[in-house]
């Protein structure tokens, strides 16, 4: 009897967890919709977008965007958090985590601050990456999300691999290299079905951009995810150079 009760409790907990996650997503979507409904644009570009006079994202990106709601109105973006921090562990073996914590020594004591890096994209060639810093974790994430939306760029995709002649836009059109700090990232075209042959954090960036297949080579201090992500983004931006 006790065993059956434990089994029932486990099933109830699993079902409840899934329902809670679903309710959370619905709540966030509703809050986002309410925020856009209450949005009162302050810039001329924002007023034109709200009036429906500008509906093309490429026209918007020609100007300096100062309101993240402009991007939200035109594009349906999905966000993801990169693991740029590390939890405390013995001999430096702590788990990777989303928050990078730093401390400032003052007369009153240690003042901690948290950094967070967020990537946004619609999976169709538009992607943005940026970081935020605050005294608490959630404000840091909100700041990073807003800055990433303001930093959205269009990248070019194609079928640049000599092993593939499908003509679809599934990889980078040619070899590109990006650098940030000591980190260097080289992205190479790959045929369909290859997948993303790159580290987990850079995978999030490429998935947000809509790239499905790529080969890569990374050099430098690649455990510094902060610079590695920036180098990957720098390489994607170079697809527009041709």
What pLDDT score was predicted for residue 22?
76
- 64 vs 2: CA distance, rounded Å: 64
* Beta strand extents in 34-140 (DSSP E only): 78-82, 85-86, 96-97, 100-106, 109-121, 126-134
Please name the residue that has the structure tokens 């527009």.
Answer: 240
Give dist(CA 140, CA 116) in Å, integer: 6
> What residue segments make up the domains of the chain, in order of their start?
2-74, 78-153, 156-240
Q: Which two tokens stand for residue 234?
A: 């720098």
Residues of the chain with confidence (pLDDT) below 50: none
The pLDDT tens digits for 111-137 are 999 999 999 999 999 999 999 999 998
Strand partners, 82: 117
Judged by DSSP in three states, 184 sits in: strand
- Distance between alpha carbon 118 and the CA centroid of its chain, in Å? 4
> What pLDDT is attached to residue 37?
83
- pLDDT number for residue 119: 95
- Secondary structure (3-state) at 195: coil
Closest of 157, 25, 35 to residue 79, by C-alpha: 25
Q: Which CATH number fits domain 78-153: 3.30.160.20, 3.30.70.60, 3.30.365.10, 3.40.50.1220?
A: 3.30.160.20
Q: How far apart are CA 242 and CA 240, in angstroms?
A: 6
Fold of the domain built from segment(s) 156-240: Ribosomal Protein S5; domain 2 (3.30.230)
Q: Supply the pLDDT for residue 87.
A: 79
Nearest residue to 201 via CA among 190, 188, 185 = 185
d(CA 82, CA 205): 9
> pTM of whole model > 0.95?
no
pLDDT at 97: 86
Position 178 scores a pLDDT of 95
Instruction: Determine if residue 52 is left, alpha or beta; phi over 0 gives left, psi from -120 to 50 gives alpha, anything else beta.
Output: left
């Amino acid at each position: 009897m006790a065993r059956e009760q434990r089994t029932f409790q486990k099933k109830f907990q699993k079902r409840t967890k899934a329902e809670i996650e679903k309710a959370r997503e619905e709540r966030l979507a509703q809050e986002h919709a309410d925020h856009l409904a209450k949005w009162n644009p302050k810039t001329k570009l924002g007023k034109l977008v709200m009036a429906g006079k500008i509906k093309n994202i490429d026209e918007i990106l020609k100007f300096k965007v100062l309101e993240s709601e402009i991007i939200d109105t035109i594009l349906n973006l999905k966000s993801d958090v990169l693991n740029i921090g590390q939890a405390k562990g013995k001999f430096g073996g702590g788990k990777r985590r989303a928050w990078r914590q730093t401390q400032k020594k003052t007369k009153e004591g240690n003042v901690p601050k948290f950094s967070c890096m967020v990537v946004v994209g619609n999976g169709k060639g538009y992607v943005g990456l940026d970081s935020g810093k605050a005294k608490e974790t959630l404000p840091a994430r909100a700041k990073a999300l807003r800055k990433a939306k303001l930093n959205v760029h269009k990248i070019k995709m194609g079928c640049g691999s000599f092993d593939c002649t499908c003509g679809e836009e599934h990889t980078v059109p040619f070899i590109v290299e990006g650098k940030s700090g000591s980190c260097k990232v080289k992205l190479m075209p790959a045929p369909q079905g290859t997948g993303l042959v790159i580290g987990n954090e850079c995978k999030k960036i490429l998935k947000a951009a809509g790239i499905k297949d790529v080969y890569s080579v990374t050099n430098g201090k690649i455990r510094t995810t902060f610079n590695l992500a920036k180098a990957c983004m720098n390489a994607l931006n170079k697809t527009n150079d041709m």
